[in-house]
Amino acid sequence: MNQDLPRYAQMLNLGDGSDLEKLSGIVLDDTMAVFKGEWSKTGLPPNVGGAARIAGPRAEGQARFEFSVPASGNYQVILYWAGHENRASNSRCVLERQGQPEEVRVLNQRQTAPKGANTLGTFQFNAGATNAVVLHSKGTDGNVVADAVEIRRAD
């Protein structure tokens, strides 16, 4: 895990044409994710960090954003994407935490949340443990976008 992550997060710029506010949490841009399957790069605004990756249902894509938190506690998990009609309404997103059952959510990426920030929920994380948010494109009804993940302290 990169110890400089919070510092790096502050240096991230928001994409062209974006009115997204600056992000305050731990930010994992798509450049820091591990991808499986075929993903294309897209610079279409709005996005976080200047670009995002996109995969279709046949790509059997997987985007894995790994992170750890500096202190144990509750954190909000936020995914960034800009909604579009050609996006998947049923993208599977899995939150992995050490020693705890997986949390699975089905994302509708046709919808655009305010500022592109889609909240998965608030979860408890332990300091030092490796966690991951994993986005899947397999079996979806459209394209899946992996732009950025933000982990924001909730208490």
At residue 31's C-alpha, the angle toward residues 126 and 154, to 5°, is 30
What six digits make up the tokens of 8? Answer: 């790096």
Q: Which stretch binds Ca ion (CB under 5 A): 19-27, 65-73, 129-137, 139-147?
A: 139-147
CB-nearer residue toward Ca ion: 23 or 88: 23
C-alpha to C-alpha distance for 52 and 87, rounded to whole angstroms: 13
Using CB under 5 A, which of 30, 77, 93, 131 touches Ca ion?
Answer: 30
Q: Which stretch binds Ca ion (CB under 5 A): 47-55, 68-76, 104-112, 113-121?
A: 47-55
C-alpha to C-alpha distance for 146 and 55, rounded to whole angstroms: 8
**Residue pair 106/142 in contact by the 8 Å Cβ criterion:** no
Using CB under 5 A, which of 23, 29, 68, 109 touches Ca ion?
Answer: 29
CB-nearer residue toward Ca ion: 52 or 117: 52
